[in-house]
Amino acid sequence: MSARVYAARWVVPVATPPIPHGAVAVRGGHITWVGPKDDAPPGERLDLGDAVLIPGLVNTHTHLELTAMRGFLEELDFRPWIVRLTRARQAVLTHDLLLASAKVGIAEGLLAGVTTYADTCESGVALQAMAEMGVRGIMYQEVFGPDPSQCAASVRGLRERLASLRHWESPRVRLGISPHAPYTVSDELFVAAARLAESAGCPMAVHLAESEAESRLVRDAMGVFADGLRARGIAVAPRGDSPVALLDRLGVLGAQPLLIHCVRATAPDIARMAHHDCAVAHCPASNAKLGHGIAPLLDILAAGVRVGIGTDSVAANNRLDILDEARVALLMQRAATRRGDALTAADALALATRGGALALGLGQEVGTLAVGKRADLAVFSLGSPRTTPAFSPEDALVWAAAGREASLVLVDGEARVRDGRLVAPPADAHAALRDAADALATWRDAGGGG
């Protein structure tokens, strides 16, 4: 089998400096060579012209099954937002609609150059969607249960769900576990889920330190989440100084979960995260849109914590574009720190690629352009007014090209996007999504969700 050689005005390996007039050779799904195009090995050559070739982007946190809820939950505060989301999903979105939702989400992500997805999923459809759409990822099966007396039943249900999904696993897609968040999961269930993750060798993810309401529940047993639990007859008591301290006390940080959000992480929290080598999924647009604030990203990075960038669901963001999310991350940190050099575009691009891969434990496979890694690549054209002129590939990509579609995307060396179009669009998924939107609107207009 001969190599394919992809040449572009710039190749950005991420772990090493950009290569002007660079090339990447691919064979058998792997990267076999990276360097100046004039030195490239023989093979079938594709000259991509005025473009930047980067590692496939990594979405470190999303909920693909919720793509049908894009724009459905606007202008709500956090607790009513999550209550309505949960009720609408249960009342309206069937298995087939959730699966179509996940596939359209992946289609959107692929067109934005995203090749790896870390998805937390209630229904379990995202694993099938990732497998069928030919992308890489981890689907963390969500588990809920704020009442300690539900713990055994929740764990039993989780085991059954994992067993029913195993046949979708492959070297490209695998299963993990996600006890959802401190306001939906009892201490007993956190401990049981962490034990299950460790015994099954599964990665784990938790929404953590996202909102003030969550912190008040954990620290003071007060606030809207505490009120909601008491209204359901569930006893509520203070559980720790902070959500991160809670998981440390329970021994859950020892399972090295991916910690999603960490908006409210304090200095002691960050020290705990670093001590246990937990990773963070940083979701700046979701955190801003839902009014939670700005995560202390620079402090988290300074502590040596692995960090990737996530979009969260389109119910909290409206788009699944990781370059755009990298741009938002930059803007937020510069605004928060009042420093114009707080983080560079190259730093943000590294978080969106290598950082995400390391956060997910996939650093040996993807995240940089290096010999031996899987050939997950994304190419963005610079041949439009918006990206002209371009002095540096990282600045052009993050500051100017963000929000534009990729021209070419490969996963394991196979094209998923070519000439800016999906090679295999998900059949009937867009029509199903429109049906889902109609059903959601009908449910809302009939007074669904209270």
Rounded distance, CA 22 to CA 11, Å?
5
Write the burial class of residue 137 (CB in 10 Å: 0-12 exposed, 13-18 middle, 19+ buried).
buried
Smallest distance, Å, CB 206 to Zn ion?
A: 10
Is residue 65 near Zn ion by the rule CB under 5 A? no
Rounded distance, CA 393 to CA 49, Å?
13
Which residue's Cβ lies closest to Zn ion?
312
Backbone angles phi, psi at 345, to 5 degrees: -60, -35
Task: With contacts defined by CB under 5 A, name the span among 81-89, 102-110, 249-257, 307-315 that binds Zn ion.
Answer: 307-315
Smallest distance, Å, CB 310 to Zn ion?
A: 8
- Give the residue with the Cβ less far from Zn ion, 293 or 425: 293
In this structure, the strands spanning 114-121 and 30-36 are unpaired
Is residue 394 near Zn ion by the rule CB under 5 A? no
- Phi-psi region at 230: left, alpha or beta (left = phi > 0; alpha = psi -120 to 50): alpha
Rounded distance, CA 136 to CA 145, Å?
29
- Give the residue with the Cβ less far from Zn ion, 312 or 325: 312
Task: With contacts defined by CB under 5 A, name the span among 101-109, 195-203, 235-243, 304-312 that binds Zn ion.
Answer: 304-312
Smallest distance, Å, CB 207 to Zn ion?
A: 5
Smallest distance, Å, CB 312 to Zn ion?
A: 5
Rounded distance, CA 295 to CA 283, Å?
8
- Give the residue with the Cβ less far from Zn ion, 213 or 410: 213
| Alpha-carbon Rg for the chain in angstroms | 21
Is residue 312 near Zn ion by the rule CB under 5 A? yes
The residues with which 208 forms a beta bridge, in sequence order, are 261
Contact pattern from residue 255 through residue 294 relative to Zn ion, giving x for each residue in contact according to CB under 5 A and a dash for the rest: ----------------------------------------
Smallest distance, Å, CB 205 to Zn ion?
A: 9
Task: With contacts defined by CB under 5 A, name the span among 100-108, 311-319, 427-435, 439-447 that binds Zn ion.
Answer: 311-319
- Give the residue with the Cβ less far from Zn ion, 312 or 347: 312
Smallest distance, Å, CB 279 to Zn ion?
A: 15
- Give the residue with the Cβ less far from Zn ion, 214 or 312: 312
Backbone angles phi, psi at 130, to 5 degrees: -65, -40
Of the candidates 225, 226, 222, 125, the one whose C-alpha atom is nearest the C-alpha of residue 173 is 125
- Give the residue with the Cβ less far from Zn ion, 123 or 387: 123
Smallest distance, Å, CB 133 to Zn ion?
A: 20
The one-letter amino acid at 436? A
Rounded distance, CA 125 to CA 104, Å?
12
**Chain residues that interact with Zn ion, rule: CB under 5 A:** 312
